[in-house]
Each structure stands twice: as C-alpha cells, then as structure tokens.
Structure 1
C-alpha cells in the first residue's frame, strides 16, 4: 500500500492512499473534520453506512466506532485533509463562552458538503503542507477558524463540540448487540460501556453466558450470512463490513460455521 501523510501539526494532516483500497477499524477519540480532495470513503457504523466522495466535508464525532474503507476513484488517489478537534483545543475555545450544551442524543456524522466558508478554510491549508518554516500559531488559528465556521452554520454543533463527558456505565448487552461488527480490542469495548476490562469480561459472561470472542465471531458470521442471502453482497465487502480482517480467514470461519463457502451460498448451492 502506498500511503503518504504530511502534517502541519499532529492535529492537521494531508492523507493520501494510492492502493486499491485501505480498510481500518477505528474508535474516534477526537472529533474529526474531513475534506475530500479525491477518492471515496465508505464508513460503516451501527446506525448506517455513509459514502463520501470528492468535494464532501463531514464531521465525525468522538467516541464512535466505525469501519473505514478508503478507495481511489477515477484514476485519482484517496486524498483528504483531516483536522482533529481535540478535547483540549475545544475546552480552550469554549472556556469563556458560557455555553451549556444539552446532553446530546445519538452522535451521527454531520455533513457540510459544498459549504463555501468551510471549504475555503480547509482548502487554504494546502500550501502549508509544503512549507518547512511555518509560524507556530498558524495551525491554531486555522482550527479556531474551522470551529467558528461550524458554529455559524450548524446551530446544534455546540451539543457535540462542547460536550466533554466521558462514556458512563451503560447496558452492556444492548451496546454489544448494536456494535458487534466492529473489530475493536476488548479494552475499547470496556471503555465505551463504562467498564474496566475485568468488569467488562465479567458482565459479558453474565449477559451472554460465553466469552466475548466466541460471541462476536458467531454474531459476525450470522450477519454475514444475512448479507449474502438478503443483500447479495460480494464476499470481500461482507468480510470487511462484519468485522473480519482478511478474506481467507473469513471464508474459513464461514465454512466451518455453516458447512459451505460464501461463494456456494451466493451461487445457490448451499443446502439447508
């Protein structure tokens, strides 16, 4: 995989993938503002799948689980400008504004595509990636500008950006039934459900009477079977979207579970 990244600071980067695709499982620990220069990205989350392409601008809230699949498009690499809006930066921005955000509901990706102010702000970063000696405060000013624009164009954005709460203890079974397709370390699942790793494993055993890994594999294979039968998706797409890391391991596990390969199922050769 040909991957290149240029940084103005650790919070602002120009990212470029030139291979056929790049897939990753991510828990977003910071808000991410992304502007697409070229290529496509499929983002799979529990509540739905998003597809972004050239010209799109979107904000991914923090503490979200997602499967990210990046593709080149039309002979152009997958190329984006990414700005991290860290909790520390946002605390500093909101410190003297007296904003008291309401408790947010479900945190979803917010799209700001083709907004001239935001696009101009992000496009203006491009020349800085080629400069060796950049004034220290430039990056800080650009992040402040981006936050200010977001507040001007989205009246509800403070409920996202000014909320600094960490995940509290929530119902583990409900959360895992919704998010099992994301291939995260158990420590991350524990954090997002408000538990230490030890408490997570103990509560998981009580809820499902099995280990997390056995349960996750079973649930992912069941979802894969559904995707083949009802959605007629390709094996590679299903493999990535249900939480497996490579096609060979997925195919082996699928055949072991159901007694036939995904290709046989798609061809109508599988027997009940």
Structure 2
C-alpha cells in the first residue's frame, strides 16, 4: 500500500492512499474534521454505516469506535484534508465563553456536505502543505476558524466540542455486546468503559465467564455466519466488518469454528 501524508502541524494533514483500499478499526482520541478531495470512505459503527465521497465534509466526535475502509474512486486516489480538534485547543477556544454543554450518550457523526464556508476554510490550507516555512500560527488560526464556522452552522455542536469529560464506568455487558466487532486493543475497551485494564479483565470474566479474546472471537464468527446466511454477503466484506484483519485468518478461524469455509457455506446457500 502506498500512503502519503503531508503535515502543516500534527493536527492538520493532507492524507493520500493510492492502493486498492485501506482498512482500520479506530477509536478517535480527538474530534476529526475531514474534507474529501477524492476517493471514498465507508465508516461502519455499531448502529450506522456512512459513505463519504468527493466534496463531502464531516466531523467524527472523539472516543467513537468505527471501522474505516478507504477506497480510491473514478481513477483517483483516496485523498482528504484532516483537521484534529484536540481537547487542548478546544479548551483554549472555550475558555472565555459561557458554554455549558448538555451531555449526549452517543454523539453522532456530523455531516456538512459541500458547505461553502467549511470548504473554503479547509481548501485554503492546501497551499501550505508545499511550503517549507509557514506563517506563524497559521495552523492554530485555521483550526480556530473551523471551530467558529462549525458553531455557526450547528448550534448543538457545543454539546460535543465543549464536553471535556472522560468516559465514566458504564455497563460492561451492554457496551461489549454493541461494540464487539471492532478489533481494538483491550486497553481501548477498558478506557471506554471507564475501567483500568485489570478491572476490565476481572469484570469481563464475571460478566461473560470467559476471557475477552475468546469471547470476542466467538461473537465475531457468529456475526459473520449470520451475515452469510441472512444477507449472503461477500467474504471480503464480512471479514473486514466483523473485526478480522485479513481474509486468510478469517477463513481459517471460520472453518475451525463451523467445520466449513465461508465459500463452502455460500456455495451451499446459493444451490438451495
């Protein structure tokens, strides 16, 4: 895979994937504002799937789990401008504002397709990627501009951007049943459920009477089987959307669990 990234600072980058596709399961540490120049992204969350293409602009709130699949499209690479809205920068922005955010349980992805103000802000950073010496504080000014525009577009966005709370201890069973398909380190799951890693493993054993890895593999394979039987989806799609990293490992684990490979199951279903 050929991947290129140019940075103004670590919080503003021009990202480009030339290869067939790139897939990753991610927990976002910062809010991410993204403008599509070309290509396509599929974002799969526990309760929604999104497709974004050329011209689209969207904001992904922090601490969200998602499977991200990036594709080239129409002969062009997957290319985006990505702006991180960090907690540090947002604290600085809101320091002198009287804003009291209302906490929402699951912040949504905010979509601002082809919005002229945001597009103007994000496209204006492109010339800076080719400069060796940047104007002083240009990145900070651009991020401040973006935050200001977002607040002007959506009056509810302060509830997300001005919320600096860390995840509190939540119901482990409900959270894991909803998010098991995301292939993340246990440290991330423990953080998002408000626990230390040691407490997470202890509570997990009490709740599920199993180790996290054994339970996660079982749940992902069961979901994959359901996707084949009920929706007859392609193995490559099922593999990447049920928490597996490559097709060969997925096929091996699936056959070990059920006694037949995904292709054998699909062939049988197609004949019936």
**Considering the TM-score relative to the shorter chain, is it more than 0.5?**
yes
Whether the 8 Å CA contact 1:221–1:254 is kept in 2: the answer is yes
Partner of 1:4: 4
Count of residues paired in the alignment: 271
Could you tell me which residue of structure 2 aligns to residue 22 of structure 1?
22
The aligned runs of 1:74-153 (5 Å cut-off) are 74-153=74-153
2:229, 2:269 within 8 Å by CA — same for their partners in 1?
Answer: no
Alignment-derived partner of residue 167 in structure 2 = 167
Q: Distance in 1 between matches of 2:136 and 2:68?
A: 32
Who is 2:247 aligned against?
A: 247
The answer to whether residue 215 in structure 2 is matched with residue 212 in structure 1 is no
The alpha-carbon deviation at position 8 of structure 1 amounts to 0.3
* Rounded Cα–Cα distance in structure 2 between residues aligned with 1:204 and 1:270: 39
User: For the residues of structure 1 that align with 2:68 and 2:112, how far apart are their CA atoms?
Assistant: 19
CA distance in 2, matches of 1:115, 1:65: 26
Residue aligning to 2:68: 68
Which blocks of at least 5 consecutive residues in structure 1 are unaligned? none
User: Using the alignment, how far apart are the partners of 1:214 and 1:253 within structure 2?
Assistant: 12
RMSD: 1.1
Shift of 1:240: 0.4
Do 1:264 and 1:270's aligned partners in 2 also have CA atoms closer than 8 Å?
no
**TM superposition score normalised by structure 1:** 0.98
Counterpart residue number, 1:200: 200
Q: What secondary structure does 2:175 align onto?
A: helix
Shift in Å, 1:136: 2.4
CA positional deviation for 1:255: 0.6
SS in 2 for 1:268: helix
Q: 1:57 maps to what in 2?
A: 57
Taking structure 2 as the reference length, the TM-score comes to 0.98
The structural deviation recorded for 1:105 is: 3.0
Question: Residue 26 of structure 1 contacts residue 67 of structure 1 at CA under 8 Å; is this kept in 2?
Answer: yes
Structure 1: 4+ residue segments shifted above 2 A: none
Q: 3-state SS of the aligned residue for 1:267?
A: helix
Separation in structure 2 between the aligned mates of residue 191 and residue 31 of structure 1, nearest angstrom = 17
99-108 or 69-78: bigger deviation: 99-108
Deviation at 1:48, TM superposition (A): 1.2
